[in-house]
Amino acid sequence: MRIAFFVHCFFPRHFYGTERYTLKLARHYQSLGHEVTVVSAIFQGTPSVGELISKYEYQGIPVVCIDKNSLPHGRVKETYYQPEMRGVLETVLRNINPDLVHVTHLVNHTSALLEITQQLAIPTHATFTDFFGFCLNNKLEAADGSLCAGPSVSRTNCVACHLKEVAHSPHSSQWIRRVKGASSAKFVAGSVNLLRNLPGLRGGPIDGLIEDIVRRPDTLSTLYNAGYKSAVAPTKFLRRAYESNGIKVPLHDIHFGIDIDRAEKSTRSSTHIPVIGFIGQIAPHKGTDLLVEAFCRLPKKSAELRIYGPEDQDPTYMSRLKNLAAQHNVRFMGTFEKETTATIFGELDLLVIPSIWYENSPLVLLSALATHTPVLVSDVAGMTEFLEEGRNGYSFQRGSVDHLEKILAELVRNPEKLYFLAENTNYERTPRMMAEDTLLIY
């Protein structure tokens, strides 16, 4: 088969979970004799390549790249449905002429892609790697930081999320910049239907913004239900979330696979100090600050904390973390080459994932389990599905520094618990198994 994978961004510029998942599927499909092409994009506002459609190859995989700087979005609607993309997408698809399309993320391509694959009668499947299909911020996190179930009937919770997110942008309208914090965002969102009908506002920018947000869930559910033949849900939680928000696409539970050295951990000596790790994006929604604060409450020299991730992603946040960590046994390790992943996990006694939003089977979690590294995770669905409390790790109350500190302190005082967990921690699923299971849904 000729298969086209559509993803929002790709290697070598972008290398996080969805991009890695797409690469692994493409490589294994290729090894099974299929002809694959990845269709990616360049985010508007990032360095341009100077042409709308370009081509390159990554690790033997042909890549077609659409430069969104040449076709930028100008309003919220165009972030999820941009009719102007139809011509570009049709050109790309006619050139590839695939037997099948598999979407791993619609951002940049937008749901206009599903209209074109229908028009060209190309069977289209997907992997839902986050909550883009019904959630405005993709994270199921409400404006006040609480976990969310999805758009309300009035969509005011979605409006509040948007207002809070863009209030500090210098490019936002003056009235939006006056929104300060979650409380004012929720208040304004609750009054928005009244505001948009005031004389002079109907049909204007405010009215258009609200209309774009209100229509988003219905536009996407309509196009998803008509355009996708089936989809992969990497966790049962994500499948239930899509089903409860109007997505009727047949969903298949297929866990991600991990390709890594599964060698046993080396024996720790009696003088060994437990090494605690964090690996991932260093950003507020990842809860890195919660871990640093909890760790710094532990007795000095009782453990070591290693933080792996890009230090330039959010310089202000990184500066705050380094100030918190000053005078403590915290090391900021930066990023690392994929080839060293197993070695890094081999040195860790515990991986902490303190995210404050719903993670969806993060590959770093599965990599930890596969390398016999116990985990301590926020008690949010999408991660706890892989946890056996007291056997391969523990969970703590989302956002609670106190609870996180309590569990860390217990494990540091009794490191033999960590070493016992390591003996019972594993994850056997490989990318080839994942690819073979995914091929079956077609």
pLDDT in tens, 218-257: 999 999 999 999 999 999 999 999 999 999 999 999 999 9
Query: In three state form, how does the secondary structure of the chain look?
Result: CEEEEECCCCCCCCCCHHHHHHHHHHHHHHHCCCEEEEEEEECCCCCCCCCCEEEEEECCEEEEEEECCCCCCCCCHHHHCCHHHHHHHHHHHHHHCCCEEEECCCCCCCCHHHHHHHHCCCCEEEECCCCCCCCCCCCCECCCCCECCCCCCCCHHHHHHHHHHHCCCCCCCHHHHCCCHHHHHHHHHHCHHHHHCCCCCCCCHHHHHHHHHHHHHHHHHHHHHHHCCEEEECCHHHHHHHHHCCCCCCEEECCCCCCCCCCCCCCCCCCCCCEEEEECCCCHHHCHHHHHHHHHCCCCCCCEEEEECCCCCCHHHHHHHHHHHCCCCEEEEECCCHHHHHHHHHHCCEEEECCCCCCCCCHHHHHHHHCCCCEEEECCCCCHHHCCECCCEEEECCCCHHHHHHHHHHHHHCHHHHHHHHHHCCCCCCHHHHHHHHHHCC
Average pLDDT of the chain, as a whole number: 92
Of 196-205, 258-267, 320-329, 360-369, which range is least confident? Answer: 196-205
Asked whether residue 17 carries a pLDDT value surpassing 90, the answer given is: no
* All domains of the chain in start order, with CATH: 2-127+228-258+433-440 (3.40.50.2000), 156-214 (no CATH), 275-424 (3.40.50.2000)
Residue with more model confidence, 270 or 185: 270
Residue 177: what pLDDT? 59
Asked whether residue 292 carries a pLDDT value surpassing 80, the answer given is: yes
